[in-house]
Amino acid sequence: MKSAVALNTENEARIIDGRSAAAALCEDLKPRVAGFRARHGHAPGLAVILVGSDPASAIYVRRKGEQCRAIGIASTQHTLPAETSEQDVLDLVARLNDSAEVHGILVQLPLPPHIDTRRVLAAVSPAKDVDGFHVTNAGWLAIGKPTLAPCTPWGCIRLLRALGVPLRGKRALVVGRSVIVGRPMAQLLLIEDCTVTIAHRHSENLADLCREADILVVAVGIPGLIRGDWIKPGAVVIDVGINRLPPDDATPKGRIVGDVVFDEASAVARAITPVPGGVGPMTIACLLENTLRAAEMIAGD
Ligand SMILES: Nc1nc2c(c(=O)[nH]1)N[C@@H](CN(C=O)c1ccc(C(=O)N[C@@H](CCC(=O)O)C(=O)O)cc1)CN2
């Protein structure tokens, strides 16, 4: 991946540009996708399942389809009404598991409350689990051998690597313990030889834990939780939070902010991801990477 981020030598944080990093990754994937097509006579295929009409989910799913097509991945979207039964979702997953044209299956989250998310995710074939949420893939990651790693944390690792800061031996704090981000993020940082701590809603002295971190990854969905004086001078801050604030006169749709107070943190940190334009775009680029990887593994490349 071409480096979209370089370290700042001045006394202010480097803003890590996730949009350029994602664009660079997609450019790198294009010839690999073309190579797959040339070898196998068909494109890698991604199937995306969207249940219900959550507006944000609909936007993300649409972007996933557009970006797949832009690099030559075949993408199909299965949009089901919010009242679809769990069994109907499971039946669709089973059909996609059996389809030779589909190499990656993604169930957009959140699912409506009457559907058991764990049961649906467990039904996805681990070989096609491009979100990396299946327990088999979580298990591979937990033993340090990731196959298909969850896209958001994998995107964070890509940003950290592109930044060029040494990770080995550094103290990393992950704030948040979700299955989608916090837990896999901690596992991936461990593979990078960081000394990893996970903090969560019951952690005591969160500010002090943050002040010890060379690498701080925050994924809790609480706008502005992390203040500038919680950050160790020179730390790298990865803000995974995407929170929409209530509308105001200047922003009728509501401003999108992260979990970190950006202006305060950027005065202290060595480098920081903005929201929007940081980790978010990498999530989709890494999904495309995982889809190609799944296709290559299924084809035995
Ligand atoms: N099955 C999955 N569901 C969900 C995932 C996931 O990885 N797999 N992650 C999120 C939603 N998501 C992708 O699905 C996602 C969220 C945000 C962004 C993004 O680029 N955000 C922008 C800001 C928001 C905007 O512009 O609308 C940014 O950060 O710049 C991409 C993907 C939950 N569900």
* Span 269-290, pLDDT tens digits: 999 999 999 999 999 999 999 9
pLDDT tens track for 121-149: 999 999 999 999 999 999 999 999 999 99
Residue 64 annotated in active site = yes
For 73-93, the pLDDT digits (tens) are 999 999 999 999 999 999 999
Residue 284 Cα to ligand 1 middle (Å): 7
**pLDDT tens digits, 9-32:** 456 789 999 999 999 999 999 999
CB 76 within 8 A of CB 45: yes
Q: Which residue has the higher pLDDT, 10 or 236?
A: 236
What is the predicted pLDDT for the residue at 10?
Answer: 56
Residue range 255-270: mean pLDDT, rounded: 97
177 is in an annotated binding site: yes
Question: Mean per-residue pLDDT for 148-154?
Answer: 98
Mean pLDDT (the chain) is 96
Annotated catalytic residue: which of 64, 128, 170, 232?
A: 64
Mean pLDDT of 138-167: 97
Ligand 1 contact, 112 CB (< 6 A): no
* Cβ contact 210:175 at 8 Å: yes
What pLDDT was estimated at residue 136?
A: 98
Q: In which band, very low, low, confident or very high, does the pLDDT at 103 lie, cut at 50, 70 and 90?
A: very high
Can you tell me the mean pLDDT for 2-14? Answer: 60
pTM to 2 decimal places = 0.95
| Cα–Cα distance measured from residue 83 to residue 299, given in angstroms and rounded to the nearest whole number | 36
Residue 4 reports pLDDT greater than 60: no
State the Cα–Cα distance between residues 96 and 209, nearest whole angstrom: 44
The complex's ipTM works out to 0.98
Q: Which residue has the tokens 């589909």?
A: 102
Domains and CATH numbers, the chain: 41-125 (3.40.50.10860), 150-280 (3.40.50.720)
* Span 175-179, average pLDDT: 97
The whole-number pLDDT of residue 1 equals 47
Counting from 1 in the atom list of ligand 1, the atom nearest the Cα of 107 is 1
Query: Would the pLDDT of 201 be above 70?
Result: yes
Ligand 1 atom at minimum distance from 59 CA: 27
Predicted confidence at residue 26, as pLDDT, reads: 98
Cβ of residue 221 lying under 6 Å from some atom of ligand 1: no
Active site residue 17: no
Token digits for 57?
Answer: 């989910």
131 as an active site residue: the answer is yes
* Span 30-52, average pLDDT: 98
Question: Average pLDDT in the 147-155 region?
Answer: 98
Among 158, 176, 211, which residue's Cα sits nearest to residue 24? Answer: 158
Instruction: Please tell me the residue having the least CA distance from ligand 1 atom 24.
Output: 276
